[in-house]
């Protein structure tokens, strides 16, 4: 924290007006491969150059830092471009050199280290699952999750609070939205217009409002998908939800690897709960209908599917990432959001056992 504040003080001392930046690039690729420098804020091309001997460079002037990427096609790195000299190592997906870049690196390493530590604890808990009760397993899983969410929230909140009017603060706000939505809403009121208008921040604010309106404990919000049934007829969410069964709604897409990786867990859940008043329903989002249908033939899923939903769940329920599972009670109340992996079976089992 002290390091970040010190760097910010140093940065604040830079005088106003245009200043020169220089990017020294490393990229193992054939000579004369075109490299692009793009301002992501306005999708403007700041420069184009070519590689020679696995190196490239850019120079230019800026009045203020911008969110940029440098690279070729999908092989690129994103960073805060500011006056000064940086090294962009595309091979290693690293950028280093200027104050904002170094601050962001330090922040990123600290924040995402928590993910790795959380995964270690989750694997250790899963390994002893058979030796503890279902209730103990769920309690410990939630405890692990809450511990690391709290750590990440503290890190993101600290950086956001010290950078309410710059891009580093915007990055931290995006992360804060993912781990502590209530704190995000509080910090959002303090942010400069620049941070509020940063697209990922404004999107996060919108989705948190939607998620609060469709949070656990709230009654479901209905919607209609035109042609959403496999046979091309219209379908409503209420055709399944609120009809007297528990409904596990799986948001997925044919192009989503993690979604398909979750399918074995869903198939196990289907076999366990198919005769216990639980129905699984798939809903394909942000996907071409023909691609969804082709993937369904491969997956051979035994539960009903809603296709061609596109962005409707996103606009109604704030579904930002997939896979995203929502569990509804028989009366349509939202019980759980964001179930994954072992949680799918253990949480549903616990709910059913409490009836």
pLDDT band at 325 (very low <50, low <70, confident <90, very high): very high
pLDDT for 133 = 87
Q: Distance between CA atoms of 250 and 268, rounded to whole angstroms? A: 14
The stretch 234-250 carries a mean pLDDT of: 97
Class for the domain spanning 224-353: alpha beta
Q: Distance between CA atoms of 207 and 211, rounded to whole angstroms? A: 6
pLDDT band at 17 (very low <50, low <70, confident <90, very high): low
- Residue 267 in this model has a pLDDT that exceeds 60: yes
Tokens of 13: 């001392």
How do residues 78-105 score in pLDDT, each as one tens digit? 999 999 999 999 999 999 999 999 999 9
Strands 305-306 and 278-284: parallel
Domain ranges within the chain, ordered by starting residue: 17-96, 101-213, 224-353
Burial of 191 (0-12, 13-18, 19+ CB in 10 A): buried
Tokens of 164: 């309410």
Residue position matching structure tokens 């830079």: 14
109 vs 87, 106, 156, CA distance in Å?
18, 5, 12
Residue position matching structure tokens 């050199």: 97
- Helix and strand numbers (H, E) in the chain are 11, 15
- Residue 235 in this model has a pLDDT that exceeds 50: yes
Question: How many Cα atoms occupy the beta-carbon half-sphere of 351 within 13 Å?
Answer: 21
Strands 75-81 and 66-72: antiparallel
Same fold, 17-96 and 224-353: no
pLDDT for 74 = 85
Class for the domain spanning 17-96: mainly beta
On average, the pLDDT of the chain sits at 91
In sequence order, the β-bridge partners of residue 74 are: none
- Residue 7 in this model has a pLDDT that exceeds 80: no
How do residues 168-226 score in pLDDT, each as one tens digit? 999 999 999 999 999 999 999 999 999 999 999 999 999 899 888 999 999 999 999 99
The stretch 35-43 carries a mean pLDDT of: 91
pLDDT for 123 = 93
For 131, residues 6+ apart whose C-beta sits below 8 A from its C-beta are none
Sheet with 34-39, strands from edge to edge, namely 44-50, 34-39, 66-72, 75-81
Q: Distance between CA atoms of 25 and 59, rounded to whole angstroms? A: 11
Inter-residue contact 135 to 119 (CB < 8 Å): no
167 vs 7, 46, 272, CA distance in Å?
14, 18, 48
Higher pLDDT, 318 or 248: 248
Q: Which of 69, 111, 110, 118 is nearest to 93 (CA)?
A: 69
Higher pLDDT, 211 or 159: 159
pLDDT band at 129 (very low <50, low <70, confident <90, very high): confident
Residue position matching structure tokens 């994103």: 78
In sequence order, the β-bridge partners of residue 38 are: 45, 69
């Amino acid at each position: 924290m002290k390091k970040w504040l010190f760097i910010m003080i140093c940065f604040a001392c830079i005088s106003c007006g245009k200043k020169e930046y220089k990017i020294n690039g490393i990229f193992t690729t054939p000579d004369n491969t075109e490299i692009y420098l793009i301002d992501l804020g306005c999708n403007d091309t700041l420069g184009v150059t070519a590689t020679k001997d696995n190196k490239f460079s850019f120079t230019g002037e800026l009045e203020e830092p911008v969110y940029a990427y440098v690279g070729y096609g999908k092989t690129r790195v994103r960073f805060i471009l500011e006056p000064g000299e940086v090294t962009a190592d595309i091979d290693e997906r690293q950028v280093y050199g200027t104050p904002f870049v170094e601050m962001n690196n330090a922040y990123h390493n600290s924040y995402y280290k928590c993910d790795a530590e959380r995964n270690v604890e989750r694997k250790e808990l899963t390994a002893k699952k058979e030796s503890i009760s279902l209730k103990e397993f769920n309690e410990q899983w939630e405890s692990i999750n809450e511990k690391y969410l709290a750590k990440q929230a503290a890190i993101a909140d600290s950086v956001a609070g010290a950078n309410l009017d710059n891009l580093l603060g915007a990055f931290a706000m995006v992360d804060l939205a993912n781990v502590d939505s209530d704190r995000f809403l509080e910090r959002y009121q303090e942010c400069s217009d620049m941070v509020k208008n940063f697209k990922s921040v404004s999107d996060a604010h919108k989705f948190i409002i939607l998620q609060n309106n469709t949070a656990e404990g709230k009654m479901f919000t209905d919607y209609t998908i035109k042609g959403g049934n496999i046979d091309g007829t219209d379908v409503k969410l209420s055709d399944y939800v609120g009809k007297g069964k528990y409904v596990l709604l799986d948001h997925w897409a044919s192009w989503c690897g993690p979604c398909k990786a979750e399918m074995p867990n869903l198939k196990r859940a289907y076999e366990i709960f198919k005769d216990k008043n639980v129905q699984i329903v798939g809903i394909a989002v942000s996907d071409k209908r023909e691609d969804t249908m082709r993937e369904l033939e491969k997956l051979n899923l035994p539960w009903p599917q809603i296709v061609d939903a596109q962005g409707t769940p996103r606009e109604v329920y704030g579904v930002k990432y997939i896979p995203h599972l929502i569990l509804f009670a028989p009366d349509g109340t939202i019980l759980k959001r964001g179930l994954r992996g072992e949680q799918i079976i253990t949480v549903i089992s616990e709910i059913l056992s409490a009836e």
